[in-house]
């Protein structure tokens, strides 16, 4: 079997085009405030891509690039100012933050109505309660959109999510449950990861180890979603060994061009939804 590619780049482009048309009809442009602390090179690349994508669809992007040495209170003050600002629709704090700053405290400081990343604990709680009045974190939302692109009904499928982060693993597992999948969350302490992964009809990999998952982990015909973005000497690599996995899977997302572009498209969608929420209430 040679797996079919799930083209995240194309799906993201379609989403962006339809958002661009909807945003053009709004009375004013939504605005996203992006806070970047320090000089993490990967974060700088992500933030630049987010800014560019915003501008392309008609969202104003305002980046606050802050010194690594900023303290928690100063960062909270800026967030509070942005929470109150009438002309700011969404607020995103790029992660990771420097170690001297308590990430949980910062994420809790963002107004839930402007929390386009969906990381504020209120929005996390609403997601668990299956309340749709929340913001779904961008990567998990993109993963579900990719799966729906190839299969409208995921009911009854065995889904294995490898990785238990707040950003990807846990919310993805929650969303797959909502899709009526039987969900297993595996992680670095899981015993016999190969066997656990082999039970998956849908395998979502978010572990941050270049090309770790090969065909030995994959049930023939499984759908593989590779969330990894690993910068190696041979270029950008996913967590999945693409060629090996493609020989047994039915569908697979490439890296680059799979989950990454969808994450950004979902950020734009969440910012548009934030604008609607703030202007309709």
Please report whether residue 92 would count as binding ligand GUN according to CB under 6 A.
yes
Site for ligand GUN (CB under 6 A): which residue of 36, 75, 138, 207?
138
DSSP 239: S
> What are the residues facing 187 on neighbouring strands?
none
Please report whether residue 266 would count as binding ligand GUN according to CB under 6 A.
no
Q: Which residue has the closest beta carbon to ligand GUN?
A: 95
Tell me which stretch binds ligand GUN (CB under 6 A): 62-70, 86-94, 146-154, 197-205.
86-94
Q: What is the DSSP string of 176-218?
A: HHHTT-EEEEE-TT-SSHHHHHHT-SEEEE----TT-B-GGG-
What is d(CA 250, CA 222) in angstroms, rounded to the nearest whole number?
6
**Is 239 considered catalytic here?**
no
Q: Please identify, using beta-carbon distances, which residue of 200 and 267 lies nearer to ligand GUN.
A: 267
The separation between CA 89 and the C-alpha centre of its own chain, rounded to angstroms, equals 19
Q: Please identify, using beta-carbon distances, which residue of 34 and 200 lies nearer to ligand GUN.
A: 34
Tell me which stretch binds ligand GUN (CB under 6 A): 52-60, 88-96, 197-205, 246-254.
88-96
Counting every residue written for the chain, the total comes to 281
Q: Please identify, using beta-carbon distances, which residue of 24 and 42 lies nearer to ligand GUN.
A: 42
**Is 113 considered catalytic here?**
no
Residues 6+ apart with CB under 8 A from 206: 139, 161, 162, 163, 165, 168, 169, 172, 227, 228, 239
Footprint of ligand GUN on 160-199 (CB under 6 A)? 167
The separation between CA 38 and the C-alpha centre of its own chain, rounded to angstroms, equals 21
**Is 117 considered catalytic here?**
yes
Please report whether residue 265 would count as binding ligand GUN according to CB under 6 A.
no
Shortest distance in whole angstroms from residue 244 CB to ligand GUN: 26
Shortest distance in whole angstroms from residue 126 CB to ligand GUN: 18
Quick one: CA dihedral 185, 191, 232, 96, positive or negative?
A: positive
Shortest distance in whole angstroms from residue 186 CB to ligand GUN: 20
Quick one: CA dihedral 230, 64, 67, 136, positive or negative?
A: negative
Catalytic annotation, pick one of 115, 117, 226, 241: 117
- Residues that are catalytic: 50, 94, 117
What does the binding site for ligand GUN look like in residue numbers (CB under 6 A)?
92-95, 117, 138-139, 167, 263
């Amino acid at each position: 079997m040679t797996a079919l590619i799930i083209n995240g780049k194309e799906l993201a482009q379609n989403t962006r085009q339809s958002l661009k048309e909807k945003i053009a009809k709004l009375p004013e442009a939504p605005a996203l405030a992006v806070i970047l602390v320090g000089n993490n090179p990967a974060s700088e690349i992500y933030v630049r891509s987010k800014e560019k994508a915003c501008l392309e669809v008609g969202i104003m992007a305002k980046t606050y690039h802050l010194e690594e040495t900023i303290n928690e209170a100063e960062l909270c003050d800026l967030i509070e100012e942005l929470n109150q600002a009438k002309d700011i629709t969404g607020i995103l704090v790029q992660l990771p933050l420097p170690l001297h700053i308590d990430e949980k405290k910062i994420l809790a400081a963002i107004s839930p109505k402007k929390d386009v990343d969906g990381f504020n604990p209120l929005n996390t709680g609403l997601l668990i309660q299956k309340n749709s009045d929340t913001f779904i974190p961008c990567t998990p939302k993109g993963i579900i959109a990719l799966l729906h692109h190839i299969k409208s009904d995921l009911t009854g499928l065995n889904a294995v999510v490898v990785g238990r982060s707040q950003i990807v693993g846990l919310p993805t597992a929650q969303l797959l449950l909502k899709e009526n999948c039987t969900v297993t969350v595996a992680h670095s302490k899981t015993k016999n990861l190969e066997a656990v992964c082999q039970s998956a009809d849908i395998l979502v990999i978010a572990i941050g180890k270049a090309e770790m998952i090969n065909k030995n982990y994959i049930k023939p015909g499984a759908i593989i979603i590779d969330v990894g973005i690993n910068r190696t000497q041979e270029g950008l690599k996913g967590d999945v060994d693409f060629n090996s996995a493609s020989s047994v899977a039915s569908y697979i997302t490439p890296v680059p061009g799979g989950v990454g572009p969808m994450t950004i498209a979902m950020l734009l969608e969440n910012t548009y939804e934030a604008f609607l929420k703030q202007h309709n209430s």
